[in-house]
């Protein structure tokens, strides 16, 4: 892919810091195509099953519940990605949405998409939540450490 046609990959979760990442990408990478990626985690929010008859543990949730939760998460991710792409277009980016399931973890999923799409740069907002991630969030930290593309981190307030 020609360098000037290589897309900007923007991680987008609908938060204000991810919207700030879109605005910065529009300012810095005018004229490049953009891919707004929302990663969803299959079976992450599956409710625990019913307690077993001995009160010692829980039975696994039924497959229909797992499927329903996954479908709802996928639909939500598609909506978030679509909203992000629409926002990106409103600030001047030629953007497309992509919602993908998390295969390993969010950072590894983004790295894989960046490679597949030949991304020129990965733009990510950093929530910086938690003791370990006071300066950078765990996703942005892992991207910086392992991504073979330039990474632009937009810090939250």
pLDDT, one tens digit per residue, over 53-85 is 565 666 677 788 888 888 999 999 999 999 999
Q: Residue 119, class by beta-carbon neighbours within 10 Å (0-12 exposed, 13-18 middle, 19+ buried)? A: buried
- Which phi and psi angles does 151 have, rounded to 5°? -125, 125
Helix (H/G/I), strand (E/B), else coil: 37: strand
Look at 82 and 130; give whichever has higher pLDDT: 82
Residues 9 and 122: beta-carbon distance below 8 Å: yes
Residue 142 lies in a domain: yes
Look at 58 and 2; give whichever has higher pLDDT: 58
Question: If pLDDT is split at 50, 70 and 90, which confidence band does 132 have?
Answer: very low
Flag whether pLDDT at 112 surpasses 90.
yes
Question: If pLDDT is split at 50, 70 and 90, which confidence band does 136 have?
Answer: low
Residue 112 lies in a domain: yes
Residue 111 lies in a domain: yes
Residue 52 lies in a domain: no
CA distances from 68 to 9, 100, 114 (A): 29, 17, 29
Q: How many Å apart are CA 100 and CA 39, to the nearest integer?
A: 5
DSSP-derived letter for residue 137 is: -
Instruction: End-to-end CA distance of the chain: give it in Å, rounded.
Output: 36
Number of domains in the chain: 1
Residue 82 lies in a domain: no
Q: Which domain holds residue 141?
A: 1-7+102-118+128-148
DSSP-derived letter for residue 85 is: H
Residue 140 lies in a domain: yes
pTM of the model: 0.83
Residue 2 lies in a domain: yes
Residue 133 lies in a domain: yes
């Amino acid at each position: 892919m020609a360098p000037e046609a290589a897309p900007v990959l923007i991680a987008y979760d609908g938060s204000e810091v991810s919207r700030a990442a879109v605005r910065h990408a529009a300012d810095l990478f005018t004229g490049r195509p953009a891919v707004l990626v929302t990663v969803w985690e299959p079976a992450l929010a599956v409710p625990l099953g019913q307690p077993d008859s001995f009160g010692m543990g829980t039975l696994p949730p039924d497959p229909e519940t797992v499927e329903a939760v996954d479908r709802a998460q996928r639909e939500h991710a598609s909506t978030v990605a679509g909203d992000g792409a629409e926002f990106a277009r409103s600030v001047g980016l030629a953007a497309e949405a992509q919602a993908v399931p998390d295969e390993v973890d969010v950072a590894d999923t983004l790295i894989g998409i960046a490679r597949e799409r030949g991304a020129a740069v990965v733009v990510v907002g950093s929530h910086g939540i938690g003791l370990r991630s006071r300066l950078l969030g765990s996703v942005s930290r892992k991207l910086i450490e392992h991504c073979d593309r330039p990474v632009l981190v937009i810090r939250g307030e």
